[in-house]
Amino acid sequence: MHFTCENEETRRDLPEGESLVLALYLDEELEPHEISEILGVSETGVLDLLRRAVQRCRHIEQRRP
């Protein structure tokens, strides 16, 4: 599964938790199971945050002029 939100400005507009998980996944190239160990949340929780972050990125980018 691949998640992406390459626009830095958009990523800054995300809630802190979503931004952190996305940064660990995209910038640090960590796998969801590694992120779950670092943050102390389930892998399912990490995947949910990644999905929400990507959806929110798309929504933000669609609303920008």
Q: Is the pLDDT of residue 6 over 90?
A: no
CB count within 10 Å of CB 8 equals 7
All domains in the chain, ordered by first residue: 8-63 (1.10.10.10)
Determine the pLDDT at residue 1: 60
More confident residue, 6 or 31: 31
Determine the pLDDT at residue 8: 85
CA 38 to chain centre: 15
Q: Is the pLDDT of residue 59 over 80?
A: yes
30-51 pLDDT tens trace: 999 999 999 999 999 999 999 9
Ramachandran angles phi, psi of 12, nearest 5°: -70, -25
List Cβ neighbours of 33 (8 Å cut-off, separation of 6 or more): 43, 46
Ramachandran angles phi, psi of 28, nearest 5°: -90, -10
Residue 5 banded pLDDT, cuts 50, 70, 90: confident
